[in-house]
A = this chain, B = another copy of it.
Amino acid sequence: MDTLTIAGRDYSSRLLVGTGKYKDFDETRRAVEASGAEIVTVAIRRTNLGQDPSQPNLLDALPPSKYTYLPNTAGCYTADEAVRTLRLARELLDGHDLVKLEVLGDPKSLYPNVVETIRAAEILIKEGFKVMVYTSDDPIIAKQLEQMGCVAVMPLASLIGSGMGILNPWNLQIIINEARVPVIVDAGVGTASDAAIAMELGCAGVLMNTAIAGAQNPVLMASAMNKAVQAGREAYLAGRMPKKIYTASPSSPTSGVIGS
């Protein structure tokens, strides 16, 4: 059985989804169901998990008995903010320790600040959190985060919310080749083929939010992403045909190239 294992727990779906940017929690629920995701990430600072009892609670739409919650630090620009946010999440979620750390560099690009990210990861790991970490596609930083004890490394495909797809598959390939924890592409996926490409590169999973929530029909796009991640994974496992400039070529002149 081909499963994704994170922090010792197995998941059959390799698609992780965000819960923000939907019309309402009902649309969130229907999209998450169509996506087949088992792990849902939640922006602790923007989502009602019971902080405001007068408002709808995401925990009702997506019961924690059914989904693994992954609290995240969206909107945090320093290590301190991120650490405080995740301590709050642990309280809100009764000691839950699997978290997604992201520390952003500036509000325009939303590119990660890797120096602050490393600082935050250090503190969180010491405090017993299991840290899945959003980062750039810098392979040296990715390795350092793994060696510090992060349970998954989550490089960007392109800027958060941009939908530009995988801008630099070569860096992702280096990260994947060197990693011993799951590598999950996080941010930048825009459509189904982007998710398939990530999986074909050998990613362990894909995390997305805007690509689904920002589609004209989010529920149908969630279904597309569900299939695309499976398709990409199966294609990776099946071992694709070699690329050839001419089919008549005796050997593959592009072997070794990404995707070949």
Contacts and interface: CB of A to CB of B under 8 A. Distances in A.
Given A174-B109, A238-B215, A259-B191, A163 B244 contact: yes
B227 A230 contact: yes
Nearest to A140: B105
A68 interface: no
Contacts of A162: 243-247
Interface in A68-122: 105-115, 118
B140 A241 contact: no
A205 interface: no
B241 A231 contact: no
A239 B192 CA distance: 11
Nearest to A171: B167
A127 to B, nearest CB: 22
B238 A234 contact: no
B231 A224 contact: yes
Contacts of A259: 165, 190-191
Contact of A227 (B163, B234, B244): B234
Contacts of A28: none
Interface in A227-243: 227-228, 230-235, 237-243
Interface of A: 105-115, 118, 136, 138-141, 143-144, 158-165, 167-168, 170-171, 173-174, 190-193, 196-197, 200, 210-211, 214-218, 220-221, 223-228, 230-235, 237-248, 253-257, 259-260
